[in-house]
Structure 1
Amino acid sequence: MGLRSGPIALTGATGHVGRAVRAHLDGLPNEVRALGRDDDLPAAVRDAETVVHLAGTLAPAKGDTYASANLGTARALAAAVEGSSVRRIVALSYVDADPDADNAYLRAKGMGELALADTGVPLLVVRCPWIFGPVSDPGPSFAPFLAHGGRPVTVIGKGTQRLAPVYVEDVAEALVRAAVEPEAPTGTYALAGPDEIDLDTMLELLNGAGVRERHVPPSIARLLAHLAPQLNPTLVEVLLADSLPHDPPLAPELGMTTRGPRDVYAAPVR
């Protein structure tokens, strides 16, 4: 059976993962409809064959909330696909998404998954831990941890949080393959890197050995969440927690492997 060749609507197209997905779609015959916040979602989806849904964030912009940025975008897509020609939805989510979670981000992601499932359109939910890119563009999860001018990197928590970071290019490949391969699975899967490491180790791989770190104890971080403009309680709790997969692995289902930071950051960064 050949690959799906119909139009693909891509939400969140300007983000870190969205840019990588667009690059992976280059060379395929599919028309790609890259959608941002102000684009006409119903028009783009109406005669699309597949939707890749990336819209959402752990750090809502001013005027947004976790519900509007994560659940609201999913509900908007669910409304748009009603009566459309869409035959598959591929949605990027987070490893700890749960509609019953106390954390506003995890709850919104989980409820967004349910909203998409309720459409009845075949759905693949891809739950990822923290996603990283190359040092030149590490992505929103890790850009705040880049060392500049020898200054220490601020780390929320003890740095012992366990992670299975997954490379953005592998995420993009998986999402594209899931969108165009008719035999790709549906359901909820995890896409994680091959290695489980702690946050401090990740920052050494990102910045090179000898990077200086300033750890903010959890109790202080929770207090700062109410005072520092760049923080909030929801974000702090996610940063303090492990980021590990819990669902069946997607990579074997797609016949691919994933890379971790040791594979990508092969040489220390000076």
Structure 2
Amino acid sequence: MGTTHTDLGIGRLAPGGRIPPHVRSFEQAIYLLAGEVAVQLEERAYLLRPGDFAFIPVGALRAFANRASEEARWLDVGSPVSLRLESGRRDTFFPTDAPDRTADASPPDLADPTLRLVGHYEGTDPDHLTKAVTSAARGRESAGMYAGLITYSGISVKMLVDQNRGAHLLTMFMVDYEVGGAAQNHEHPFEEGYFFLQGETDFELGGQIHHFRPGDTAWAGVGTTHACYNTEGGRVRWIETQAPVPPRQHSYRWPTDWERYEAEHCQGGDRHA
């Protein structure tokens, strides 16, 4: 599709299937969509189920195994892009002496403060702001950097993988749109990928309007304008990825902010040529 920084795909592992321990020369993040899969991350192994996600740093030992009776399926994003066959090089290596710990996998303890590479998130409830203040003030679940939400214009964003988890080349997060939620037409100095999970919506991409449903994917390259105005079809949810990691400043550009200068250019004829 022309991506420079992003590999976005679906991983599938049949019952009894396994991928032995290996290392890769790029960052990887996964989000479980269906089934369950045992994932080894260095010396620990976790049994991941739908809604669980994991970040795998460059060079980290990883392995996968499906001990269940149904297929496991996950969203998979990597950056930089995998080396192509014509390069004559490899980016995935299988050490012969690496231990396989997937047989010892157990569900992650999400309350463990040392759990950094694995998490769980299924989406934001419509009334999440109300729920945030209706429970007892003392003893309420922490809303720290991993639990907090970014909310604006009828949209909520929950970061899953970012620099707080050690990612330096990519991010992955979940987006929920209420009916009437809107992100105005904008662009970025990085690539974005989208995988739609719930609801239907019109999505403007590069000046063209597309209608997306669950299971659809999209990609916006550097400088590709995009917008979403969720005016019908109910709540919408998708997973979004970015690569490279957005800069601290100037990660957005709204074309409408610069239209006045375009108008001056047109009024002045060739004086800017």
If each structure's strand is expressed as a fraction of its own residues, which one has the higher value? 2
If each structure's helix is expressed as a fraction of its own residues, which one has the higher value? 1
TM more than 0.5: no
The structure, 1 or 2, with the larger RCO (C-alpha pairs under 8 Å, 6+ apart) is 1
Normalised by the length of structure 2, the TM-score is 0.28
Normalised by the length of structure 1, the TM-score is 0.28
